Amino acid sequence: MSRRAAVSPSWSKARPALSVLIPFLRDDPSDLIDLLDEEAQSVAGAVEVILLDDGTNDRELTTRLQARMRAMRLPAKLITLEVNAGRSRGRNRLAEAARGGSYLFLDSDMRPDHRRFLWTWAELVAREDPAVAFGGFSLLQAPDEPRFAVHRALSQASECVPYAVRARTPEKYVYTSNLLVRRDVFAAEAFDAEFAGWGWEDVEWGMRVSRRHRIVHVDNPATHMGLDTVDALAGKYAQSGANFARVVERHPQIVAGYPSYRAARLLKRLPLAPRALQGLARRLAGAAWAPVRARAFSLRLYRAAVYAEALR
């Protein structure tokens, strides 16, 4: 169920080619939309922004964002859900509200790394109209604090990857943090609403789509500002086991080459039970006295043990 939507003054007359779709839950996306709105003149009505509050139920935040909508130069809309729909359903709901021929899924904790971010996406749509494109993400603007050091190390090693490297295994690097999808492609292949909790719904979607469409990787990054502590990240990994098992069941040939899958299969064959290994690895990952590289390895080991337990 949604409350009444709030729109910007230019919303009703806009005919956008690109819809930027931003879901959020208990986050304030004001900084992101302020940065996007700085590009309003350069994209000249070709881009709209739609936000979905996925059940935050914060009246003060809603009131503040509604006022922000009324001040935006970009065509913009805020949809507020009273009940959480979840990551997949929420993004599907955003797509239903979009009017552009292409969608840019952008997480609320992202920040463009340059001031021609929207212009670059709009120009790519006008020039090539790709089925799917991923712009990449960085940690350029992310907080450099000791409590986030492990997450930073993990992201730099496996996610903040140059576009030329991403292009070698295009379906693997598909994250809804900065993902362009053409309308007809998404109409045929929406996100699987059966995924629950955290993780893998976007990668699984990329695997499905890659069978019929080319996935383009471009150099148009944004910073992932939402780094987590070890405890928070381990909590997310704990939720992702069932989602990982679902991906393995549906795409065994693709997943077979992933290091996370090979590690999970190996751990499943070891005498030490995955559940016992989870406890040991999580404790070491949280040990502030240990080197960051050792803690990051331990957290990867914890994730592999979670996945091992989830595999049949």
Mean pLDDT lowest among 138-147, 269-278, 293-302: 269-278
What is the pLDDT at residue 115? Answer: 94
Domain match, 89 and 146 both? yes
Domain match, 285 and 146 both? no
Give the DSSP letter string of the chain.
Answer: -B---EE-TTTTT---SEEEEEEESS--THHHHHHHHTTHHHHTTSEEEEEEEES---HHHHHHHHHHHHH-SS-EEEEEESS---HHHHHHHHHHH--SSEEEEE-TTEEESSTTHHHHHHHHHHHT--SEEE--EE-TTS---GGGHHHHHHHHHHTS--HHHHTTSTTTS--TTEEEEEHHHHHHS---TT--SSSSHHHHHHHHHHTTSPEEE-S--EEE-----HHHHHHHHHHSHHHHHHHHHH-HHHHTT-HHHHHHHHHHHSSS-HHHHHHHHHHHHT-TTS-HHHHHHHHHHHHHHHHHHH--
Domain match, 185 and 296 both? no
Q: Tell me whether residue 1 is in a domain.
A: no
Last residue of a domain, one of 166, 199, 227: 227
C-beta atoms surrounding 188 within 10 Å: 12
Domain match, 216 and 240 both? no
Q: Tell me whether residue 194 is in a domain.
A: yes
Residue 94 has pLDDT above 80, yes or no: yes
Residue 282 has pLDDT above 90, yes or no: yes
Mean pLDDT lowest among 83-92, 161-170, 219-228: 83-92
What is the pLDDT at residue 32? Answer: 96
Q: Tell me whether residue 73 is in a domain.
A: yes
Domain match, 205 and 290 both? no
Domain match, 213 and 245 both? no
Please name every residue paired with 132 in a beta bridge, in sequence order, or none if there are none: 181, 215
Residue 1 has pLDDT above 60, yes or no: no
Domain match, 279 and 210 both? no
Total structural domains in the chain?
2
Name the residue range of residue 289's domain: 229-312
Domain match, 17 and 82 both? yes
Domain match, 304 and 248 both? yes
Distance CA 261, CA 19 (A): 35
Q: What is the mean pLDDT of the chain?
A: 90
pLDDT digits (tens, 9 = 90+) for 58-77: 889 989 999 999 999 999 99
Signed CA dihedral, 200, 22, 24, 2: sign only: negative
Q: Tell me whether residue 263 is in a domain.
A: yes
Q: What's the whole-number mean pLDDT along residues 278-288?
A: 93
CATH number, position 90:
3.90.550.10
Q: Tell me whether residue 187 is in a domain.
A: yes
Q: Which residue has the higher pLDDT, 207 or 88?
A: 207
Last residue of a domain, one of 227, 255, 278: 227
Distance CA 292, CA 285 (A): 9
Q: What's the whole-number mean pLDDT along residues 42-47?
A: 94
Domain match, 134 and 260 both? no
Q: Which residue has the higher pLDDT, 272 or 291?
A: 291
Last residue of a domain, one of 227, 260, 275: 227
pLDDT digits (tens, 9 = 90+) for 106-136: 999 999 999 999 999 999 999 999 999 999 9
What is the pLDDT at residue 89? Answer: 82
What is the pLDDT at residue 192? Answer: 78
Signed CA dihedral, 244, 250, 252, 258: sign only: negative
Percentage of the chain with pLDDT > 90? Answer: 62
Domain match, 51 and 199 both? yes
Q: What's the whole-number mean pLDDT along residues 145-152?
A: 95
Domain match, 78 and 186 both? yes
What is the pLDDT at residue 256? Answer: 86
Categorize the per-residue pLDDT at 29 as very low, low, confident or very high, splitting at 50, 70 and 90.
very high
Percentage of the chain with pLDDT > 70? Answer: 98
Residue 105 has pLDDT above 80, yes or no: yes
pLDDT digits (tens, 9 = 90+) for 230-254: 999 999 999 888 899 888 988 888 8
- Do residues 295 and 230 touch, judged by C-beta distance below 8 A? yes
